[in-house]
Amino acid sequence: MTPARKQLKLSKSGSNITAAAAAVRNGGIVAYPTEGVYGLGCNPADLAAVALLLSLKQREADKGLILIAADRQQLSPYVDTLPTHIEQKLGTTWPGPVTWILPCTAGTPELLTGGRNTIAARVTAHQPAAELCTQCGHALVSTSANVSGNAACTYAKAVEEAFNDGINYVLQLPVGDLTGPTPIFDGVSGQQLR
């Protein structure tokens, strides 16, 4: 069942990270640059915003979502206590452009995990995304800015054209140097999944 859509309009776009963080705090969805593509994000604890984001993106909830953070502490509500050997793997790639599939905490919402006992997460080194997380004071949902099945947007104008009636703020700052979304690794096996 598709959640009821809030009447959202693109209220602003620009390079003001504080304004983007305010939109997140008000339950909105923002588009922001990540390491290789634009991401769509919201507060992962605001399940109405998460459901709206999934609807906007036309993404099935059972696929799960990635969380992005400015530091490891911001992921602690969602990522379970990890064995030392997994923490060491994270330490070699975070902060940085690597997403890990990790065991999640018991209370992590299914809208984030896709019903699994794991969560995809990353501590980013991309300054605009990290600063947005810092100003929000928590991790953010980070899913590529595209309707499912379409190519991910790599610049602000493409995001505005694709989602002009559903995003509260488009943060117009450059994406990083990757040529696509971040690689994803399984935290337990170390196997690359994307």
In this predicted model, what pLDDT tens digit does every residue of 130-171 receive, in sequence order? 999 999 999 999 999 999 999 999 999 999 999 877 899 999
Q: How far is CA 13 from CA 9, 67, 145, 183, in A?
A: 11, 22, 15, 28
In angstroms, the CA 65 to CA 151 distance is 17
Domains and CATH numbers, the chain: 12-186 (3.90.870.10)
This prediction has a pTM of 0.93
Q: Assign residue 142 a region: left if phi > 0, alpha if psi is -120 to 50, beta otherwise?
A: beta
> Using one digit for the tens of pLDDT, what is the confidence trace for 96-134?
999 999 999 999 999 999 999 999 999 999 999 999 999
Provide CB contacts within 8 A for 161, sequence distance 6+.
Answer: none
